[in-house]
Structure 1
Amino acid sequence: MPRRHVFIDFEASSLSTESYPISVGLHEVFSGDEGYCIISPASVLEWTEWSYEAQKIHKLAKPYIEEDGVSPKDAIKVIAEACGDPYKCILIADSERDEFWLKRLYDAAGERCPYVIKNVGRLANGYNRTLLALALSSKENTHHALEDARILAEAVLTLGKANVKWYE
Structure 2
Amino acid sequence: MRGYLFVDFEASSLSSESWPIEVGVAQIVERRVLVESRLIRTHETWDPEDWHPESAAVHGISRAELAAADPAEEVARWLVRRMGSSVLVSDAPEYDRRWLIRLLEVIGQGASAPEILDFDQLAWALFSHSSDVAPGRLHVVMKRFASRRSVHRAGPDAADMAYAFRKGLGR
TM-score surpassing 0.5? Answer: yes
Residue 124 of structure 1 and its aligned partner are, at CA, apart by 2.9
Correspondence 1:79 to 2:79: yes
Distance 2:45 2:69 in 1: 12
CA 1:93 to 1:44, structure 2 compared with 1: closer, same or farther past 3 Å? same
Q: Is the 8 A contact 2:26 2:162 kept in 1?
A: yes
Residue 9 of structure 1 and its aligned partner are, at CA, apart by 0.6
SS of corresponding position for 1:124: helix
Structure 1: gaps of 5 or more residues: 163-168
Q: What does 1:100-139 align with in structure 2 at a 5 Å threshold?
A: 100-111=98-109, 112-125=111-124, 131-139=140-148
SS of corresponding position for 2:114: coil
Residue 45 of structure 1 and its aligned partner are, at CA, apart by 4.2
Q: TM-score, normalised by structure 2?
A: 0.80
Residue 3 of structure 1 and its aligned partner are, at CA, apart by 5.3
Counterpart position of 2:12:
13
Counterpart position of 1:157:
166
Q: What does 1:46-61 align with in structure 2 at a 5 Å threshold?
A: 46=47, 48-61=49-62
CA 1:69 to 1:44, structure 2 compared with 1: closer, same or farther past 3 Å? farther
Aligned counterpart in structure 1 of residue 87 of structure 2, from 73, 90, 104: 90
SS of corresponding position for 2:112: coil
Q: Is the 8 A contact 1:33 1:82 kept in 2?
A: no
Q: TM-score, normalised by structure 1?
A: 0.81
CA offsets, 1:87-134, max 9 Å, x none?
xx1111111211111111112332233422111112233856655432
Q: How many residues align?
A: 157
Structure 2: gaps of 5 or more residues: 129-136
CA 1:120 to 1:158, structure 2 compared with 1: closer, same or farther past 3 Å? same
Q: What does 1:19-30 align with in structure 2 at a 5 Å threshold?
A: 19-30=18-29
